[in-house]
């Protein structure tokens, strides 16, 4: 485990899927930061994104670790994952049953698990542990803006507004489809209902397929 200083930044995966993939990767790599791999880094699933990234950036994304554990003052051992400790595609929702959480967290020794993937912030104690979703900077559900979390000595969810209009000028073939969702995201209740239906069906996806 590593000791964390005040300025440590951890990116929770899915770093490049979107209208500015190369720019996002180059910016992240230029920072003194840590990053883990999300399912969309492992397999972008978008030919345009892959073309924009090029082989070197894509190789860097795919080489990132799936998990990262750090010691954080006030919180103890904190495990960073994209989806869940079991899979980068498994969905963790604030509405998850105790039985589902118990299965997902079986064998996890960390005090806090920080996840993303479902793009909605929450903070849920469970079985002496704490499950925290940091939200999403680029495609949050529930409220517009860049969402993230500050850790230590407690958990503080953050959100900041920004101008998303330049994204519409991107050459990304999916910009006309996705940018309106970024600018006016679905409500948290709508997103949870969609994700719960996918979980019940044994599938994983996002609201944009």
At 133-160, the pLDDT tens digits run 999 999 999 999 999 999 999 999 999 9
pLDDT of residue 6: 58
Average pLDDT over residues 46-52: 96
pLDDT of residue 128: 94
The pTM of the full predicted model, rounded to 2 decimals, is 0.93
The chain-wide mean pLDDT, for the chain, equals 92
- Positive or negative, the CA dihedral 133, 137, 138, 140 is positive
Indicate the DSSP class of residue 71: E
Q: Which architecture, in CATH terms, is 2-200?
A: 4-Layer Sandwich (3.60)
Residue 102 has pLDDT above 80, yes or no: yes
Evaluate the omega torsion of the peptide bond into residue 153 and state whether it is cis, within 30 degrees of 0: yes
Res. 43 pLDDT band, cuts 50 70 90: very high
Average pLDDT over residues 100-111: 96
**Contacts (Cβ under 8 Å, ≥6 apart) of 81:** 12, 36, 66, 67, 88, 113, 114, 115
Ordered DSSP codes for 114-138: EE-SS---EEEEETTEEEEE---SS
Res. 165 pLDDT band, cuts 50 70 90: confident
């Amino acid at each position: 485990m590593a000791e964390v200083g005040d300025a440590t930044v951890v990116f929770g995966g899915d770093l490049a899927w979107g209208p500015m993939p190369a720019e996002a990767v180059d910016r992240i790599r230029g920072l003194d930061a840590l990053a883990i791999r999300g399912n969309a880094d492992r397999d972008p699933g978008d030919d345009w994104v892959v073309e924009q990234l090029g082989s070197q950036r894509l190789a860097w994304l795919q080489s990132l670790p799936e998990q990262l554990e750090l010691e954080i003052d006030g919180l103890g051992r904190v495990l960073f994952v994209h989806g869940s400790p079991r899979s980068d595609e498994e969905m963790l929702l604030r509405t998850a049953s105790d039985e589902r959480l118990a299965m997902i967290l079986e064998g996890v020794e960390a005090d806090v698990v920080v996840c993303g993937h479902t793009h909605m912030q929450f903070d849920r104690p469970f079985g002496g542990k704490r499950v925290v979703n940091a939200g999403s900077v680029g495609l949050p559900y529930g409220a517009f803006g860049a969402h993230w979390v500050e850790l230590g000595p407690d958990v503080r969810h953050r959100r900041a507004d920004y101008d998303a209009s330049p994204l519409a000028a991107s050459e990304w073939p999916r910009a006309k489809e996705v940018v309106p969702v970024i600018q006016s995201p679905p409500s948290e209740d709508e997103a949870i209902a969609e994700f719960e239906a996918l979980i019940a069906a044994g599938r994983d996806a996002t609201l944009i397929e």
